[in-house]
Amino acid sequence: MRISTDLFWATLSTIELSVLCIVLSSFLSLIGGLALLSPNRYLRAFVRVYIEIIRGTSLVVQLFWLYFVLPEFGIILDGFTVGVIGLSINGGAYGADVFRAAFQAVPKGQSEAAYALSMPRRMTIFTILAPQALVRLIPPWANAMIDMLKGSSIFSMIGIYELTFAGTQLNASLLQPFKIFLIVAAIYLVLSQVIARSMFALERATRNSLGLPR
């Protein structure tokens, strides 16, 4: 009974953490991807430096910086906030190039036609380029979302109550590693399948709305 109860609440915590990280990292990825396509070279350079720093360092080190180093400068964040910020920034760095590539995959004739019609750049992006880029974006972004779900397990290192942390605590007191971590693995698998199938349905619906072949 204790195993099921503890893992149930830990699963809810993992879902909450993952959803927040996915939403924030999606926003950062979109902003970063558009910035990489900007004609402003300084903006492109700034975002590229951000991407290279985040992708070139360990997520664990990044979390430790937020959790242990920032307090030395008077910035104290609780573990949950550190987890959300850390994974979102990390996911945004990886996702920016995914968003950039999705937009660049749209045929140039689409934007050229909009330019010929004197359509504002913002309107061109959100009404013409974005819907077509979304179809190309969904498969790789689904993988990134699943990676963020699984990556949330690393937050057990800074004491965030989530699925892996709960499993470790239960095993320490009950000494039933096979049963506990089999359940933990099964929960991660189910959550990953929910994301994968939801994104597949979204991709199919988007293709249908744009009249594209499946």
Lowest mean pLDDT among 84-98, 124-138, 175-189: 124-138
Condensed to tens digits (0 to 9), the pLDDT of residues 96-120 reads 888 888 877 776 766 666 666 666 6
Condensed to tens digits (0 to 9), the pLDDT of residues 70-100 reads 888 888 888 888 888 988 999 899 888 888 8
CA torsion 113-116-118-122 (nearest 10°) is 40
What are the distances in angstroms from CA 194 to CA 8, 63, 146, 164, 203? 17, 27, 10, 19, 14
Give the residue-averaged pLDDT of 62-71.
Answer: 88
Lowest mean pLDDT among 3-12, 23-32, 44-53, 191-200: 3-12
**pLDDT score for 45:** 92
CA-nearest of 77, 76, 80 to 18 is 80
Predicted TM-score of the model (pTM): 0.82
Task: Name residue, tokens 């949950």.
Answer: 80
Domain covering 2-210, topology: MetI-like fold (1.10.3720)
CB 174: neighbour CB atoms within 10 A? 13
Lowest mean pLDDT among 85-94, 181-190, 204-213: 204-213
The set of residues, in sequence order, having a beta carbon less than 8 Å from that of 24 and lying 6+ positions away, is: 84, 85, 88, 92
What does the alpha-carbon distance between residue 49 and residue 145 come to, in Å, rounded to a whole number?
23
